[in-house]
Amino acid sequence: MRIILLGPPGAGKGTQAKVLAEATHLSHISTGDLLRHNVAGNTQLGNKAKDFMNKGMLVPDELVTQMLIERLKQPDTQKGFILDGYPRNLAQAETLDGILNNLRAAVDFVVYLDASESVIIQRLGGRLVCKACGANFHVTNMPPKRDMICDNCSSELYQRDDDKEETIRKRLLVYQNEVTGLVSYYRQRNKLYRVSSDEGPQVVLDKIMQLIKALDDSAKV
Ligand code: AMP
């Protein structure tokens, strides 16, 4: 199964992709995480991507796409994956179909996580991320047990540079400019399913799991 999670920054794509990957035993591929890993490692790609990310802009397609192609060569992705953060625009959606076509595969369905702007700003403004394992926390919604320390691996938590309010607004604008094309692309192909993600993570996960089950059942012969 190859699933895309689409939605604005702060809709919970990363959180849902992680738990969904565990529940379904599919690989979680996050282009944002891969890029941050490159930035932290000071790689050539990371150095090229950094400024775009800090300004809340999209990293040029060719850089992100090449990175995704490399990731898709890894054997764990063959059983299927949950893709979070890609595609971000129509060109990337078309490129992804091309890449998967070459691998004799296809996107099965796209979950559009829909959240209201006030929820998004509240979620992103308070988000804390672990420097080592990437786990997400939130200052009020899901505070860590110890101040600024990861519950899972005891490393330090930090606020992403692009989670500052001004950059959040820029990221939302970038998203709104690109999303219409993506929505019609997947709607025309009958692959798009909308799930409201204003509620807490468990409620949203249950809704997505119900959807996956319903789609899986309907595919049975
Ligand atoms: P995310 O973690 O998905 O919110 O991504 C963080 C930042 O990484 C975005 O604001 C972009 O600068 C960059 N990024 C992630 N995925 C993509 C993509 N598919 N295309 C272009 N830029 C991306």
Which pLDDT score is estimated for 220?
Answer: 64
Q: Structural domain tally of the chain?
A: 1
Q: Locate the ligand 1 atom nearest the alpha carbon of residue 55 and give its number.
A: 12
Residues of the chain with pLDDT under 70: 219-221
Which pLDDT score is estimated for 75?
Answer: 95
Which pLDDT score is estimated for 216?
Answer: 78
CA-wise closest residue to 12 among 125, 123, 170: 123
Which pLDDT score is estimated for 24?
Answer: 92
Domain membership of residue 72 (yes or no) is: no
* Protein residues with CB under 6 Å of any ligand 1 atom: 9, 31-32, 35, 52-53, 56-59, 64, 85-86, 88, 92, 162, 171
Task: Tell me the CA–centroid distance for residue 221 and ligand 1, in Å.
Answer: 38
Domain membership of residue 138 (yes or no) is: yes
Which pLDDT score is estimated for 134?
Answer: 86
Domain membership of residue 32 (yes or no) is: no
Domain membership of residue 83 (yes or no) is: yes
Domain membership of residue 197 (yes or no) is: yes
pTM exceeds 0.85: yes
Domain membership of residue 143 (yes or no) is: yes
Give dist(CA 139, CA 122) in Å, integer: 10
Decide: 163 and 124 in contact? Cβ < 8 Å.
yes
Domain membership of residue 51 (yes or no) is: no
- Helices and strands counted in the chain (H then E): 8, 8
Q: Domain with 182 in it: what CATH number?
A: 3.40.50.300
Catalytic residues: 13, 88, 127, 160, 171
Which pLDDT score is estimated for 135?
Answer: 87
In DSSP terms, which residues pair with 39 in a beta bridge? none
Q: Give the domain extent around 200.
A: 2-26+79-220
Domain membership of residue 62 (yes or no) is: no
Sheet holding 192-196, edge to edge: 27-30, 81-84, 2-6, 109-114, 192-196
